Structure formats: structure tokens, C-alpha cells
């Protein structure tokens, strides 16, 4: 029998208090009833190229049922599942860890100070229960809780003071000691030399790795040759007709088809037709392998709790790694070229498919599964006839994100010889040729929009009747529609063989020269001397002098042990002792690797970019949540920004701000801003309407409603926004090494471009460690309650 949701026992005119609120915190001093089954929803965030990944997807949470403990003893607990309405944009893995709404709560009165009840809302994932009635008065309970908190903070503060005194006495100050470093560059360079010397003779390469490399190269070449043989009319017709069919042969499908037509036509007009075909060929093979791998892993994790527990930390770690970190090990084994680019793209893009497949299987309707069991279906039959059909929407969302992440990685993989549009952008950025970079960046943007719109429209059509209005399958529905699209593609291919397979040279236009002239004009007129605002050069210098340099100098000037102590304390405040240990060890690893100074330089850039991102993102998110017209105006802009690969963001900032650290940070801010805005907007809108109605009935002003009700209850979503902002900012700050960001990003680029694996791998490992530190500091960990 499917469990039903328990009735709401809260008074109609009073908002429910946060989970775990003690009687002393209630106006009447009575103990609150157990919270009824609460439905949680993931933020309506669009994720994609490594963007937010935790921001979208469905979230499963155990609800609290009166009289039932959170563990489910004493009866079946009600479970509620909410899934995100958005399709992938930049985000990394969308699936398993979205923002969970806090238990609703409100203050008993309104003043300019934020009430304690609002601050006590539980973080996501927890399910609070009220304390049983006791003989203690409300004042005594409040005093006992306060004294316990004081004791805990006193112990932690005393420990910090003792450790600080001991560190100053025993260790002194200064940067990381040279005696505590380990030289990895020499053995890594030796390993790289050994691989180059033995690639053609060693059995591991001859009978295993060489076959993988050849198979990858042959697969990509085969797809490219097929696309080239179809000619530009055949490819254009295939893109338009199959996008139209996937979205449905209707008005919306026509819009998607028009998007496909415009995207490929612009690719040809800009003279990037051959580079576009090579990028699509690599994309087709990478997405096929990543989707297959993700489905297999997702099936294992969705059907086995043990496998899910084993894979979760691995997938969580992969979510915080910048794309650059994936390139280095594959370059070490396969060298530069198509195999390294393909395999790192597959590994990078597979996690979203795995997590969303597992999530779809686990969130299947229990009633349907119970009915299939009652009909005598076995495990395999339930999988094929119930679980997988019910998980189709989640799986298609995973495919969407896999496609977008694969496109992002294929572009970055140009650093290791992948070719295609990414190589055009990289070569243009290396010579600061903004016009040529824009000519290659526009096709990347258009392909991303085409793929995103097509898969999103196909996902929206799931469950809709694929037949004519009279119920019969017409030529524009069902299999006959696919046959019609294939016939149209074949006809266009035959026409292309007659007209010529290559895009006509006379139909191209070189935009690099006018774009470079426009850039020169913008730099001359807006870099400095602009009344009131100063100009882009003034902004860049001010940001660097007043924020970046002081922050970097402060971090590098701290004693190494003091910085480790600060990280440990911050991690303990937001998580557990295990969280603190993980963050501290990860930061110490950057010193052991011998890149302590570069790591702190990168950390200063991430912190500065994160501060700007959060200020702008929260302000705009609040405006979108409270003003509908603001969201309507910004929605198409955010949709577009969340489909762009990381490389593309570097082009306009280089044009406006030149090659500098400020340019890399501004690109990181623009890259991370859409996810923060959308998570903030969704979190504020998900606040319990009963709490808002109670606040209005008590005479709260709009300002009081925002600061005393909405923001406190949206704290889990805001915490997720901070976490996603950190991950996304780190990804682009590292890529910013291409445009003057320096630090670890420059070392990675240097190692990849010059074949210095020791330098590149060491910097890549340090980036991984920084990602773990920042993730642990911004992702609160639920503490295990003591019984």
C-alpha cells in the first residue's frame, strides 16, 4: 500500500517552526508537533558544461511523519520527490545533490533584527523532530541550550588559541617549509619519457592501449568521413529534419528546426564548416560512449545501495574537478591527439548520466512497482517494464547534460590536439586575435544552443501521445515521421553529391578584420578617460590593486600552519571533524607538492571572484524572485549564458580588459552568475506560503518579509548557491591561465603545450586539492544526531 501524506497539524494562522525548534523558542512555550511530510524540490536551475551541476535534477528526501522516527522505525515514512524543471546548462552533475528546502518556520514577531527562529532552520536533508514535553520552564530550556553552545564554542576557541600559541612557538612563520615538499616533477617527467620510448614496444601498449587508441581514432575518423561525404546539403538537412522530428512536427518543432538551420548556416558563412564537422564527429563518439557508460553505472547504483554508497564519493569528487584536471593523465598515457581528447571527454561527461539514471530508478513510483510485483513480475521484468520507463525523463535530462558537458570538454581538449573549433579558439587566444576567436566561438555557441533546444524539446514530449489528433498514426507521427526525416536527409545528400560536398567558398565572410577594428575602437574609447565610470582599464587596475593584490598578499603572508588552522576551524563549523580533516589535508597537499605560493595565488582569485559573484547573484536572484518582469527579461539571457563552453567567455573579456588576472576573474564571474541567480530565485520562491501569509498577517513590511522569513528559510538554497559558485568560479579561473590568470592555470597550460608533464600534472593535482578544500568549506555536512 502506498503511504499517504499526514495531515497538517499546524494552526491555520501560524507558520510552522523550524525543525528541531525547542519549546523555549515557541511563543507559548509548548512543544511543537512533529513536522508532517514535507515535499522538497530542487532549484529550478539550468546546468550544463560543467556548471552547476548539483543545481538541477531531482532531489529525494525522507519526509517526517508524526509518530515516526526519521529512520523509519514504527511505520513507513512518507517520501517525496521533486525534480528540477530546467535542462542542463553549464553545470557539472545535475543530479543527486540539489538544494533541499528547509522546514518552514517564522518568527513570532517582526523587528529589524533577524529572529532566532529564522536562523534555526535546518539544513537540507535533515528531518527535525520536536523535543518531548519536560518539567523545565522555557527560560530554563533556553538557558541550558545557550550554556551548551557556549561550552562548545569555548572548547573550540580554546583549542584554536592553544594550537596558535604552539604553532608560533614551534613552527614560526613564513611560507611552506622546503623540507616538507616532495618533488613529483622529476619522476613524472621520467615516466613521460619512458612512455614515449616504450609506446611502440611494450606489451601493455601494443596489445591494449594501442588498440584503444586506434579504435578511438578510427571511430572519430569514420564519423567525420561520413559527415563529409554527406556534403553540406545532407548535413544541413539531417540537422534540421531530425531536430524537427525530435521536437515534434508542430509549431514548436519548427522553431527548433529553424534554430538548427540558422546554427549550421552561420557555421558555414563564418568559414568554420570543416572545423564544425570535426567537432561534431568527436562529439558523436564521445556522447555515445559517455551515455553508455553512465547508464551502466547508473543501473548499478540505482539497483544496489552498496554500489551507490561506494560510487557517491567518487562522483562527488569528480564534480569539483576542473576540466583541465582530466586532460593530464590521458595525455601522459596516450600522448596528444584524438584518443586523449576522446577518453577524457567520456570520463568528464559520464557522471551526470550515471547520477540521473540512478536517481530516476530510485524515485520510481512505489505504487507502480508494487502493482508490478503483485502481477508476478520478476526483477528483470520490473526493470524493463516499470523502472526504466518511469526513469525516462530523468535519463533524458542526464543525456542533455552529458551532451553539453561533452561539448565543453571537446572545446577545452583542443589543448591536447583534439582539433575542431576549440583549436581555432585556442590558437586565436594565444595570439590575442579577438576577431578570429569570435569567428570560432560563435559556431560553438550556436551548436550548444541547437543541442540544448533539441534535447529539451524531446524531453518535454515524453509521455505525450505520438499520434494524430484522431488517434491514428499519420505520416508526421510515429515511425513514419522518422522515415520521412531519413528520406529527406538522403535526398539532400544526393543533391549535395551533384552540387559539391564542401561549403562554397563564395558563401563565406571573414569577420575577424572588422571585429578587430571594433575592438581597437572600444579599447581606445572605453579603456580609460570615460566620464564618471573611468573605463575598463581603470576598473581592471582598481580591482587588482584594491582587492586582488591585498588578498593574495594576505594569504601568502600568513604562516602556513595558521592558514591550515583557519581552514580546519571553518570546515568544522560547517561540517564534521571528518570534513575538517579532509579540507586541512587537501590544503596541506598543495604545500607538499611544492606549489604552495601558486595555490594561494589561485585561491585569492577564486575568493575575489566568488565574492563578486555572490553579491551580484543574490541581489539579482532576489529581484527575480520578487519581480516577475525582471525574471522574464533575464530568462533568455541566462538560458544563453548557461549553454556556453568555458572558452567562449574568455573572448569578450580579453577584448574589453586585455590579458590580465582581472580578465580571468571577470570571465569566471559571468560564467558562474547564472547558476547562482537561478538557485537563489528558486530557493526564495520555494519558501512555505503559510510562513509568508503569517508574516503579512502580522503586519510585516516587504523588507521584513525578505530578511526575516524568506532569506532565513531559503538558507539551504543559498548554501547550495555558494557551493556551486565556488566550483564554477574555480573552473574558469584555471582556464583563465590562457589569458593572464597565471598561478596554477598557467602551469597546467604550460605543461600541456610544452610537454612538461611534471609541471602540468603537479599543478593539476594542486587544483584538485583546492577544489576539495573549497567544496568542503561551502557544502554543509549533516551531523549524525546523538541519541
Q: Tens digit of pLDDT for each residue in 290-314?
A: 999 989 998 888 888 888 888 887 8
SS3 517: helix
Tell me how far apart the alpha carbons of residues 310 and 318 are, in angstroms, rounded to a whole number. Answer: 14
For residue 472, how many C-alpha atoms fall within 13 Å in the half-sphere facing its CB?
Answer: 3
| Residue pair 315/328 in contact by the 8 Å Cβ criterion | no
Q: What is the pLDDT of residues 464-493, one digit of tens each?
A: 544 444 455 455 566 777 788 788 888 888
Q: How far, CA to CA in Å, does 749 sit from each of 430, 729, 737? A: 11, 18, 7
Tell me how far apart the alpha carbons of residues 703 and 714 are, in angstroms, rounded to a whole number. Answer: 15
**Res 128: pLDDT:** 39
Q: Which residue has the higher pLDDT, 85 or 217?
A: 217
Rounded to the nearest integer, the mean pLDDT of the chain is 74
pLDDT score of 349 more than 90 = no
**Res 587: pLDDT:** 92
Lowest-pLDDT choice from 251-255, 404-408, 474-478, 574-578: 474-478
188-463+476-502+534-778: what fold? MetI-like fold (1.10.3720)
Tell me how far apart the alpha carbons of residues 425 and 435 are, in angstroms, rounded to a whole number. Answer: 10
Pairing label, strands 59-62, 79-82: antiparallel
Kindly state the average pLDDT of the residues 434-458: 83
Cβ neighbourhood burial of 189 (10 Å; 0-12, 13-18, 19+): middle
Kindly state the average pLDDT of the residues 606-611: 90
State the pLDDT confidence band at 412, using cuts at 50, 70 and 90. confident
DSSP strand E in 370-498: where? none
Tell me how far apart the alpha carbons of residues 508 and 517 are, in angstroms, rounded to a whole number. Answer: 19
**Res 505: pLDDT:** 82
Q: What is the pLDDT of residues 541-563, one digit of tens each?
A: 888 888 888 999 888 888 888 88
Kindly state the average pLDDT of the residues 623-645: 84
Tell me how far apart the alpha carbons of residues 437 and 306 are, in angstroms, rounded to a whole number. Answer: 47
Lowest-pLDDT choice from 202-216, 467-481, 505-519: 467-481
**Res 585: pLDDT:** 93
Angle CA(296)–CA(124)–CA(105) in degrees, nearest 5? 150
**Res 592: pLDDT:** 92
**Res 589: pLDDT:** 92
**Beta bridge pairs of residue 82:** 59
Tell me how far apart the alpha carbons of residues 404 and 412 are, in angstroms, rounded to a whole number. Answer: 13
Angle CA(120)–CA(125)–CA(130) in degrees, nearest 5? 50
State the pLDDT confidence band at 740, using cuts at 50, 70 and 90. confident
pLDDT score of 226 more than 80 = yes
Lowest-pLDDT choice from 331-335, 578-582, 606-610: 331-335
Tell me how far apart the alpha carbons of residues 309 and 306 are, in angstroms, rounded to a whole number. Answer: 5
pLDDT score of 521 more than 50 = yes
Q: What percent of the chain has pLDDT over 70?
A: 73
State the pLDDT confidence band at 448, using cuts at 50, 70 and 90. confident
Amino acid at each position: 500500500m502506498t503511504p499517504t501524506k499526514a495531515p497538517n497539524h499546524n494552526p491555520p494562522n501560524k507558520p510552522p517552526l523550524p525543525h528541531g525548534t525547542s519549546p523555549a523558542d515557541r511563543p507559548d512555550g509548548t512543544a511543537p508537533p512533529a513536522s508532517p511530510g514535507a515535499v522538497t524540490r530542487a532549484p529550478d536551475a539550468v546546468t550544463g558544461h560543467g556548471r552547476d551541476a548539483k543545481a538541477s535534477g531531482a532531489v529525494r528526501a525522507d519526509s517526517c511523519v508524526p509518530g515516526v522516527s526519521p529512520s523509519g522505525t514504527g511505520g513507513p515514512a512518507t517520501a517525496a520527490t521533486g525534480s528540477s524543471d530546467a535542462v542542463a546548462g553549464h553545470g557539472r552533475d545535475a543530479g543527486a545533490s540539489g538544494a533541499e528546502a528547509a522546514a518552514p518556520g517564522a518568527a513570532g514577531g517582526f523587528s529589524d533584527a533577524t529572529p532566532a527562529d529564522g536562523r534555526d532552520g535546518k539544513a537540507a536533508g535533515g528531518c527535525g523532530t520536536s523535543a518531548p514535553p519536560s518539567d523545565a520552564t522555557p527560560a530554563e530550556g533556553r538557558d541550558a541550550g545557550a550554556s551548551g553552545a557556549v561550552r562548545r564554542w569555548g572548547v573550540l576557541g580554546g583549542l584554536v588559541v592553544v594550537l596558535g600559541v604552539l604553532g608560533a612557538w614551534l613552527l614560526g612563520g613564513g611560507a611552506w617549509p622546503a623540507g616538507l615538499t616532495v618533488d613529483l616533477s622529476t619522476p613524472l617527467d621520467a615516466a613521460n619519457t619512458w612512455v614515449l620510448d616504450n609506446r611502440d614496444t611494450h606489451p601493455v601498449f601494443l596489445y591494449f592501449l594501442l588498440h584503444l587508441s586506434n579504435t578511438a581514432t578510427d571511430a572519430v575518423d569514420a564519423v567525420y568521413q561520413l559527415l563529409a561525404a554527406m556534403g553540406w546539403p545532407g548535413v544541413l538537412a539531417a540537422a534540421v529534419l531530425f531536430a524537427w522530428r525530435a521536437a515534434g512536427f508542430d509549431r514548436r518543432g519548427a522553431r527548433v528546426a529553424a534554430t538548427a538551420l540558422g546554427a549550421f548556416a552561420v557555421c558555414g558563412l563564418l568559414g568554420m564548416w570543416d572545423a564544425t564537422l570535426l567537432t561534431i564527429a568527436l562529439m558523436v563518439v564521445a556522447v555515445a560512449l559517455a551515455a553508455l557508460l553512465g547508464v551502466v553505472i547508473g543501473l548499478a547504483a540505482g539497483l544496489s545501495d552498496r554500489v551507490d554508497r561506494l560510487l557517491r564519493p567518487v562522483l562527488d569528487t569528480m564534480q569539483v574537478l576542473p576540466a583541465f584536471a582530466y586532460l593530464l593523465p590521458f595525455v601522459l598515457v596516450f600522448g596528444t591527439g584524438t584518443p586523449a581528447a576522446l577518453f577524457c571527454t567520456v570520463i568528464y561527461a559520464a557522471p551526470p548520466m550515471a547520477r540521473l539514471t540512478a536517481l530516476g530508478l530510485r524515485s520510481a513510483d512505489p505504487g507502480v512497482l508494487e502493482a508490478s510485483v503483485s502481477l508476478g513480475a520478476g526483477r528483470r521484468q520490473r526493470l524493463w517494464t516499470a523502472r526504466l520507463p518511469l526513469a525516462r525523463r530523468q535519463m533524458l535530462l542526464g543525456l542533455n547534460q552529458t551532451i553539453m558537458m561533452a561539448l565543453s570538454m571537446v572545446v577545452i581538449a583542443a589543448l591536447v590536439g583534439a582539433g575542431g573549433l576549440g583549436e581555432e579558439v585556442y590558437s586565436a587566444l594565444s595570439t590575442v586575435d579577438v576577431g578570429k576567436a569570435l569567428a570560432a566561438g560563435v559556431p560553438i555557441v550556436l551548436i550548444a544552443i541547437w543541442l540544448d533546444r533539441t534535447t529539451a524539446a524531446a524531453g518535454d514530449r515524453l509521455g505525450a501521445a505520438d499520434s494524430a489528433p484522431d488517434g491514428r498514426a499519420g505520416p508526421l507521427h510515429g515511425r513514419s515521421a522518422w522515415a520521412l526525416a531519413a528520406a529527406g536527409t538522403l535526398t539532400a545528400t544526393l543533391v549535395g553529391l551533384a552540387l559539391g560536398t564542401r561549403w562554397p567558398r563564395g558563401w563565406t565572410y571573414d569577420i575577424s578584420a572588422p571585429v578587430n577594428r571594433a575592438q581597437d575602437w572600444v579599447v581606445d574609447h572605453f579603456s580609460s578617460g570615460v566620464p564618471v565610470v573611468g573605463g575598463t582599464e581603470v576598473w581592471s587596475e582598481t580591482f587588482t590593486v584594491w582587492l586582488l593584490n591585498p588578498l593574495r598578499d594576505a594569504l601568502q603572508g600568513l604562516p602556513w600552519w595558521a592558514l591550515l588552522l583557519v581552514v580546519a576551524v571553518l570546515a568544522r563549523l560547517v561540517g564534521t571533524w571528518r570534513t575538517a580533516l579532509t579540507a586541512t589535508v587537501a590544503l596541506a597537499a598543495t604545500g607538499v607538492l611544492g606549489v604552495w605560493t601558486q595555490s594561494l595565488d589561485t585561491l585569492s582569485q577564486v575568493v575575489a571572484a566568488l565574492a563578486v559573484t555572490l553579491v551580484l547573484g543574490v541581489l539579482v536572484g532576489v529581484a527575480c524572485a520578487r519581480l516577475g518582469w525582471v525574471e522574464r527579461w533575464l530568462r533568455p539571457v541566462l538560458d544563453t549564458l548557461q549553454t556556453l563552453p568555458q572558452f567562449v567567455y574568455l573572448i569578450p573579456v580579453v577584448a574589453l580588459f586585455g590579458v590580465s588576472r582581472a580578465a580571468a576573474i571577470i570571465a569566471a564571474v559571468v560564467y558562474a552568475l547564472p547558476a547562482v541567480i537561478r538557485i537563489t530565485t528558486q530557493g526564495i520562491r520555494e519558501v512555505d506560503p503559510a510562513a509568508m501569509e503569517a508574516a503579512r498577517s502580522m503586519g510585516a513590511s516587504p523588507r521584513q518579509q525578505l530578511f526575516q522569513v524568506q532569506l532565513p528559510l531559503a538558507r539551504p538554497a543559498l548554501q547550495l548557491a555558494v557551493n556551486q559558485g565556488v566550483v564554477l568560479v574555480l573552473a574558469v579561473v584555471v582556464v583563465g591561465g590562457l589569458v593572464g590568470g597565471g598561478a596554477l592555470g598557467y602551469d597546467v597550460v604550460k605543461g600541456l603545450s610544452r610537454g612538461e608533464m611534471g609541471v602540468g600534472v603537479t599543478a593539476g593535482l594542486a587544483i584538485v586539492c583546492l577544489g576539495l578544500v573549497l567544496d568542503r568549506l561551502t557544502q554543509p555536512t549533516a551531523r549524525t544526531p546523538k541519541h
